[in-house]
Amino acid sequence: MMREKKLRKTKEYATVYRRGEKIYGKYVLLFFMPNQQEISRFGVVTTKKVGNAVIRNKWRRRIKEIVREYGDDLQSGYDIIVLARPRIKESEFSSVKKDITRVLRKARLLR
């Protein structure tokens, strides 16, 4: 993920959590809100409930890869946070990819 496409500051995350819409998936929770920029910015969050650091980082990398694959198909002008739910640790990559696709479509963030 390119540097300018990342949510970086705690304040940016807090704003999206507080003011953004949220959509529940089986394995992820999607927070999103419009931003004042030409690009969409992403953040991936995996809490300690997901597992130890190795497991959390594994799922963080996988979620970033799924988002990267959708690069050109995503609507621009949004701040998006993908939060991994604890049940993600027992799931398959393909199931998580389908779930992320479903929540992105439900949020109308895919073109």
Buried b (16+ CB within 10 A) or exposed e, 44-59: bbbeeebbeeeebeeb
Would strands 28-34 and 41-46 be described as parallel, antiparallel, or unpaired? unpaired
pLDDT tens track for 5-58: 889 999 999 999 999 999 999 999 999 999 999 889 999 999 999 999 999 999
Residue by residue, DSSP assigns 14-42 as HHHHHHSEEEE-SSEEEEEEE-SSSS-EE
Q: Is 17 exposed, middle or buried (0-12, 13-18, 19+ CB in 10 A)?
A: middle
pLDDT tens track for 4-19: 688 999 999 999 999 9
Query: Which domains does the chain show, CATH number per domain?
Result: 3-106 (3.30.230.10)
pLDDT tens track for 80-108: 999 999 999 999 999 999 999 999 999 99
